[in-house]
Structure 1
Amino acid sequence: MRHARNNELTDRRSAAAEAKASLLTAYRASKTVAEPSQAARQAERMSLAEAREARRAERERLKYEERTRVETLAAQEKAAIEAAAVAEIEARQSAENARISRVVEDEAARKTERDRRYAARKARQV
Structure 2
Amino acid sequence: MRAIKNKDLNDRRSTANDAKAAQLQAYRAAIAAAAPTREARQAERLAIAEARDERRAERERVKLEEQNRIAAEAAEREAAIAAAARAETEARELANKNRIARVLEDEAARKAERDRRYANRKARRA
With the shorter chain as reference, the TM-score category is over 0.9
Q: Structure 2, unaligned stretches of length 5 or more?
A: none
% of aligned pairs identical? 60
Which residue matches 1:119? 119
Aligned ranges 1:1-126 → 2 under 5 Å: 4-126=4-126
After superposition, the Cα gap between the structure-2 partners of 1:50 and 1:105, relative to the gap in structure 1 and judged at 3 Å, is same
Displacement of 1:7 after TM fit? Answer: 1.5
- 1:7 maps to a residue whose letter is K
- Secondary structure in structure 1 of the residue aligned to 2:69: helix
Counterparts of 1:108 and 1:2, CA distance in 2:
149
1:22-42 deviation line (CA, Å, top 9, x unaligned): 000000000000000110110
Counterparts of 1:125 and 1:2, CA distance in 2:
174
Counterparts of 1:123 and 1:6, CA distance in 2:
166
Displacement of 1:67 after TM fit? Answer: 0.5
1:56-110 deviation line (CA, Å, top 9, x unaligned): 0000000010000001100100110001001100110111111011101100000
After superposition, the Cα gap between the structure-2 partners of 1:3 and 1:125, relative to the gap in structure 1 and judged at 3 Å, is farther
Displacement of 1:2 after TM fit? Answer: 8.2
Structure 1 residue runs of 4+, over 4 Å off? none
Displacement of 1:124 after TM fit? Answer: 1.2
Counterparts of 1:62 and 1:112, CA distance in 2:
73
Count of aligned pairs between the two proteins: 126
Q: Structure 1, unaligned stretches of length 5 or more?
A: none
- 2:120 maps to a residue whose letter is A
Counterparts of 2:40 and 2:83, CA distance in 1:
63
TM-score, normalization: structure 1? 0.96
Alpha carbon RMSD of aligned pairs, Å? 1.3
Counterparts of 1:116 and 1:2, CA distance in 2:
160
